[in-house]
Amino acid sequence: MMGMRRVLAVALLIGAVALISTVSRAATMSAPEGLAAEIKIAAEQAKLAQAATSMKDVKVHLQAVLNCIERGMEGRCGNVSGGMMAHSKAMGAMASEAVAWTELSWDVAKVGMKATTMNKAKAAAWATQVVLEHEGGMVR
Amino acid sequence: MGMRGRLFAVVELAAAVGLVATVSFAADMGMMAAGQMKTAIAQAKAAQKAESLSVVKEHLQNIVNCIEGPKGAMFKAMGANPCQGNGLLADAKDAGGKYAMVIPWVELANENAAAGLKAAVIEKARASGWAVQNLLEHAEKAMMGQ
């Protein structure tokens, strides 16, 4: 019985250390690191939107893109907190350029959210992905 | 040939003429749409190279004018219109087939150009120009069956 408790305690400790390390890594990311990580996740969501087979699913993925742009962890963008917009604004000399591209990806994803046809929503998802990848190339 | 035979011949001739006219109209509209597409892409490239926000916006307005045509909600006369016809959207719809299929992309390009027209900074307006170019080039490839 005592042995089992010890194993459980060790497992819990390992889990806690892993969680702290993940959260702390996300919290200590610089603006370019955070932005690059969020762009990658958002671009992946834009790709998934294009592959989705229902309008509802296209929009779920486009909403995930918007969450990455606006809020980061609260809106679930991997384990990165802050959001693309906040990180873009913290990009120093590159801030105005980064903000412009982040706003553009938001505009395009938003058009997709308002779309009434799959073709239009998927076209918007394609454009969102292209814009995000272009921004990702600038941040790298 | 009896009366009935003659009547059939006339009807067939009228149908053939109608078909030729329809096909020819669609082909004309397709050529018109392809020309408008090329002009709009050139304007999107020019927008990205422009040195001032006002000039970027002039090019973006030309794109909107090319896409929407003179009857468009956001059309704004600015001297000579670089595009002829009824606008890329209207002419692509009239052309039908592969031209009509790219309409969502053209609409999206138009919305991006409109977003660029509202931009307060040149970076955003140019980025919109970049997106418009990419969307229209993607649509052009689909139009040309590439």
Residue-wise pLDDT tens digits, A105-126: 999 999 999 999 999 999 999 9
How far is it, in rounded angstroms, from Cα A49 to Cα A121? 8
Segment 5-24 of chain A within 8 Å of chain B by CB: none
How far is it, in rounded angstroms, from Cα B6 to Cα B30? 36
Interface probe, candidates A50, A108, A114, chain B, greatest B C-beta count within 10 A = A108
Predicted model pTM: 0.79
| Residue with the two structure tokens 């408790």 | A5
Q: Nearest-CA neighbor of B83 among B117, B44, B36, B46?
A: B36
Residue A9 identity: A
Per-residue pLDDT at B96 exceeds 70: yes
- From chain A, the residues in CB contact with B115 under 8 A are 104, 107
How far is it, in rounded angstroms, from Cα A79 to Cα A73? 6
Considering just the CA atoms, what is the radius of gyration of chain B in Å?
Answer: 20
Closest CB to B135: pick one of A107, A127, A134: A127
User: pLDDT-derived band of residue B143, with 50, 70 and 90 as boundaries?
Assistant: confident
Residue B100 identity: A
Inter-axis angle of helices B3-49 and B122-143, to 10 degrees?
150
- From chain A, the residues in CB contact with B124 under 8 A are 99-100, 103-104
Per-residue pLDDT at B28 exceeds 50: yes
Comparison of pLDDT for B82 and B24, the residue scoring more: B82
Contact A130 B131 (CB under 8 A): yes
How far is it, in rounded angstroms, from Cα A54 to Cα B80? 44
Residue A32 identity: P
Inter-axis angle of helices B103-117 and B122-143, to 10 degrees?
170
| Residue with the two structure tokens 């970027």 | B56
Contact B123 A100 (CB under 8 A): yes
For chain A, how are helix, strand and coil distributed in percent, rounded to 5?
A: 85, 0, 15
Interface probe, candidates A88, A94, A104, chain B, greatest B C-beta count within 10 A = A104
Q: Considering only alpha carbons, which residue of chain B is nearest residue A119?
A: B104
Confirm if A136 and A39 have CB atoms less than 8 A apart. yes
Q: CA of B24, closest CA in chain A: separation in Å?
A: 28
- Kindly state the average pLDDT of the residues B123-138: 97
Q: CA of B105, closest CA in chain A: separation in Å?
A: 6
How far is it, in rounded angstroms, from Cα B35 to Cα B27? 12
How far is it, in rounded angstroms, from Cα A28 to Cα A37? 13
Contact B104 A119 (CB under 8 A): yes
B55 contact partners, CB below 8 Å, separation of at least 6: none
